[in-house]
Structure 1
Amino acid sequence: MENFAVIDLGSNSCRMTVTQIHDDGGYTVTHRLKEMVRLSENENATELPTLQPAAIERTIAALKSFKTVYDQLPNLTLKALATAATRKATNQKKFLKQVKTELGLDIEVIPGTTEAYYDYLGVVNTLPTTNCVMMDTGGGSCELVLMVNGQAKHLVSLPIGAVSLSEKFQLDGAVPANALFKAMTFVDKLFNSVWWLRNGLNLPLVCLGGSNRTLAKINRRQNNFLDFEDIHGYRLKDTAIYKTFDAVLTQDAEGRAKIPGLAKDRADIIVGGMVPAITLMRYLDSDRMIFSQNGLREGVLFEHLTALAEQNSKVSE
Structure 2
Amino acid sequence: MAAGAAPAKPVAIVDIGSNSVRLVAYERLSRSPTPIFNEKVLCGLGRGVATTGLLGADAMDRALAALRNFKVLCRNLGVGELRVLATAAARDARNGSAFLDAASAALGADIELIGGPREAELSALGVSSGFHGADGVVGDMGGGSLELVDVRGATVGRGVSLPLGGLALLDASRGSPKRAARIARDALLKAQPIRVLEGRTFYAVGGTWRALAKLHMRARNYPLNVMHGYAMPAAEALGLGPLAERIDADDLAALAAVASARRPLLAYGAAVLEEVVRLGRPREVVISASGVREGLLFEALDRGTRAEDPLFAAAREINDRHARDPGHGPDLCAWTDRFYAAAGLPETADETRLRHAACLMADIAWRAHPDHRGDHALSAIANGAFSGVDHPGRAFLALTVAYRHGGEVEAGVGLRALLTPGRLERARLLGAVLRVAYLVSAAMGGVLPRTALRCSKARVTLALPADFADLASERCVGRLRQIAKLVGREAEVTVG
Helix, strand or coil for the counterpart of 2:282?
Answer: coil
For the Cα contact (< 8 Å) 2:125–2:295, is it kept in 1?
A: yes
Residue 49 (structure 2) pairs with residue 43 (structure 1) = yes
Could you say if the C-alpha distance between residues 166 and 27 of structure 1 is closer, same or farther in structure 2, counting changes exceeding 3 Å?
Answer: closer
Alignment of 1:146-165 (within 5 A): 146-148=150-152, 150-165=154-169
Matched, 1:119 2:116: no
Q: What aligned pairs does 1:111-260 form with structure 2 within 5 A after superposition?
A: 111-148=115-152, 150-171=154-175, 179-225=176-222, 228=225, 230-250=226-246, 259-260=254-255
Q: Distance in 1 between matches of 2:202 and 2:31?
A: 31
Following TM superposition, by how much is the alpha carbon of 1:150 offset from its aligned partner in structure 2, in angstroms?
Answer: 4.4
In structure 2, the residue matched to 1:176 is none
CA distance in 1, matches of 2:278, 2:94: 35
Task: Kindly state the Cα deviation for residue 298 of structure 1 after the two structures are TM-superposed.
Answer: 0.7
Preserved contact between residue 203 and residue 284 of structure 1 (Cα < 8 Å): no
Contact 1:12/1:39 (8 A) holds in 2: yes
Cα distance in structure 1, aligned partners of 2:251 and 2:51:
25
Give 1:286's match in structure 2, choosing from 257, 266, 282: 282
Q: Residue 250 of structure 1: CA displacement?
A: 4.4
Residue 81 in structure 1 maps to residue 77 in structure 2: no
Q: In 2, distance between residues paired with 1:249 and 1:219?
A: 12
Superposition TM-score, scaled by structure 2 size:
0.56
> Which residue is equivalent to 1:18?
25
Cα offset, 1:275, TM superposition: 1.8
Answer whether contact 2:117 2:161 (CA < 8 A) is retained.
yes
- Cα offset, 1:17, TM superposition: 1.1
Q: Could you tell me how far 1:69 is from its partner in structure 2?
A: 0.8
1:272–1:8 Cα change, 3 Å? same
**Deviates most, 209-218 or 298-307:** 298-307
**Offset of residue 235 of structure 1:** 0.5
Normalized per residue, the structure richer in strand is 1
**Matched residue, 1:175:** none
CA contact (8 A) 2:144 2:168 kept: yes
Give the distance between the partners of 1:257 and 1:209, measured in 2 at CA: 23
- 2:15/2:23 contact within 8 Å kept: yes
State the secondary structure of the residue aligned to 1:44.
helix
- Give the Cα–Cα distance (whole angstroms) in 1 for the partners of residues 165 and 31 of structure 2: 36
Q: 1:70 aligns with which of 74, 89, 92?
A: 74
Unaligned runs of 5+ in 1: 172-178, 311-317
Tell me, yes or no, if the aligned pair for 1:234 and 1:291 is still in contact at 8 Å: yes
Per-residue deviation, 1:98? 1.4
Q: Could you tell me whether the CA contact under 8 Å between 1:215 and 1:241 is conserved in 2?
A: no
Decide whether aligned partners of structure 1 residues 182 and 206 sit closer, same or farther in structure 2, where only a CA change above 3 A counts: same
Match of residue 113 from structure 2: 109
Displacement after TM superposition at 1:214 (Å): 1.6
* CA positional deviation for 1:200: 2.0
Determine helix, strand or coil for the equivalent of 1:94: helix
User: What is the CA–CA distance in structure 2 between the aligned matches of 1:275 and 1:212, rounded to whole Å?
Assistant: 11
Q: In the TM superposition, what is the alpha-carbon distance from 1:27 to its structure 2 partner?
A: 4.6
After TM superposition, the score normalised by the length of structure 1 is 0.85
Local SS of the residue matching 2:27:
strand
Change (3 A) 1:147 1:61: same
Give the match's secondary structure for 1:264: coil
1:240 positional shift = 2.5
2-structure distance, mates of 1:27, 1:263: 26
Q: Structure 2 vs 1, CA of residues 226 and 183 (structure 1 numbering), >3 Å: closer, same or farther?
A: same
> Shift of the alpha carbon at 1:95?
0.8
The CA distance in 2 between the partners of 1:256 and 1:11, in whole Å, is 28
Q: 1:308 to 1:7 in 2, by over 3 A?
A: farther
Bigger-Rg structure (1/2) = 2
**Offset, 1:291:** 0.8
Query: 2: distance between equivalents of 1:259 and 1:242?
Result: 19
Cα 1:307–1:87 shift into 2, 3 Å: farther
Tell me if structure 1 keeps the 8 A contact 2:67–2:106: no
Identity of aligned residues (%): 28
CA-to-aligned-CA distance 1:156-196 (integer Å, 9 cap, x gap): 1111111111122133xxxxxxx444322211111122245
> Aligned-pair RMSD on alpha carbons?
2.5
In the TM superposition, what whole-angstrom CA distance separates every residue of 1:62-87 from its partner, at most 9, and x where no partner exists? Answer: 11221221012335210000000001
- The letter of the residue matching 1:186 is I
SS, match of residue 35 in structure 2: strand
**Which runs of 5 or more structure 2 residues have no equivalent in the other structure?**
1-7, 307-496
Write the letter of the residue equivalent to 1:274.
A
2:137–2:193 contact (8 Å) kept in structure 1: no
2:157 partner SS: strand
- Check conservation: 2:149, 2:160, Cα contact below 8 A: yes
Instruction: Name 2:265's counterpart in structure 1.
Output: 269
Q: Which amino acid aligns with 2:42?
A: M
Letter in 2 for 1:30: I
Partner residue in 2 for 1:30: 36
Specify the alignment match of 1:314 in structure 2: none
* Displacement of 1:92: 1.8
Q: CA deviation at 1:2?
A: 2.1
Q: Which moved more, 1:298-307 or 1:253-262?
A: 253-262
Partners of 1:256 and 1:267 within 8 A in 2: no
